[in-house]
Amino acid sequence: MTGSAAAAGRRPIPAVRHFGDLTAGETHVSAGRTVTEADIVSFAGLSGDFNPLHTDEQWAAANTPYGGRIAHGLLVLSISSGLRTPGIDELNVLGYLNVERAMVAPTRAGDTIRATQTIAGLRPSRSRPGSGVVTVEVTVADQDGTVVQRGTDVLLVGGARDDR
């Protein structure tokens, strides 16, 4: 072992992780990222979702229980999906098979989010020998620990000789 992995008594994470390297129950926490006003405005333009819930402070304050504008749920999903997550980033992902999220609390500009990802299920692929279907439970929380999203990602992860 080298570096901080050795100091913490953990195994180092290999550069590429294959289906056979995974263990049900392993949990990985991402880096944090602050959602900005620019993120919300850019996402509205990119997605075409100009709902006043995300774009009109006075309307959102007067007409919603949130006290003002909130970030798009799909923006939070997108950001959390891209956050650097040692142990998950190294997976030999051949494809995303399914993504599900429940938006359970609002995220506002200025909130910092982190994703916690737990390997919840592993099953060999029927169509790609050596590969497997990996179900990952995902929880996204803000700086106060409030869970803002939860759900699952289902990934097709290649085996050691299946990364063509």
The CATH code of the domain that includes 19 is 3.10.129.10
pLDDT tens figures, 58-80: 999 999 999 999 999 999 999 99
Q: Which pLDDT score, from 0 to 100, does residue 114 have?
A: 98
> Is residue 78 assigned to a domain?
yes
Exposure pattern of 111-149 as b/e (b: 16+ CB <10 Å)? bebbbbbbbbeeeebeebeebbbbbbebbbbbeeeeebb
Averaged pLDDT for residues 146-151: 98
> Is residue 66 assigned to a domain?
yes
> Is residue 8 assigned to a domain?
no
> Is residue 112 assigned to a domain?
yes
> Is residue 5 assigned to a domain?
no
How many domains does the chain contain in total?
Answer: 1
Output the CA torsion sign for 28, 106, 154, 24.
Answer: positive
> Is residue 119 assigned to a domain?
yes
Averaged pLDDT for residues 89-98: 96
* Cα–Cα distance measured from residue 16 to residue 113, given in angstroms and rounded to the nearest whole number: 26
Q: Which pLDDT score, from 0 to 100, does residue 3 have?
A: 44
By residue range, what is the domain housing residue 31? 15-157
Q: Which pLDDT score, from 0 to 100, does residue 15 have?
A: 86
> Is residue 131 assigned to a domain?
yes
Residue 115 has pLDDT above 50, yes or no: yes
Q: For residues 143 and 5, which has the higher predicted lDDT (pLDDT)? A: 143
Q: Which pLDDT score, from 0 to 100, does residue 4 have?
A: 42
Count of other CB atoms within 10 angstroms of residue 76:
25
> Is residue 73 assigned to a domain?
yes
Write the single-letter amino acid at 12: P
* Cα–Cα distance measured from residue 164 to residue 162, given in angstroms and rounded to the nearest whole number: 6
Q: What percent of the chain has pLDDT over 90?
A: 85
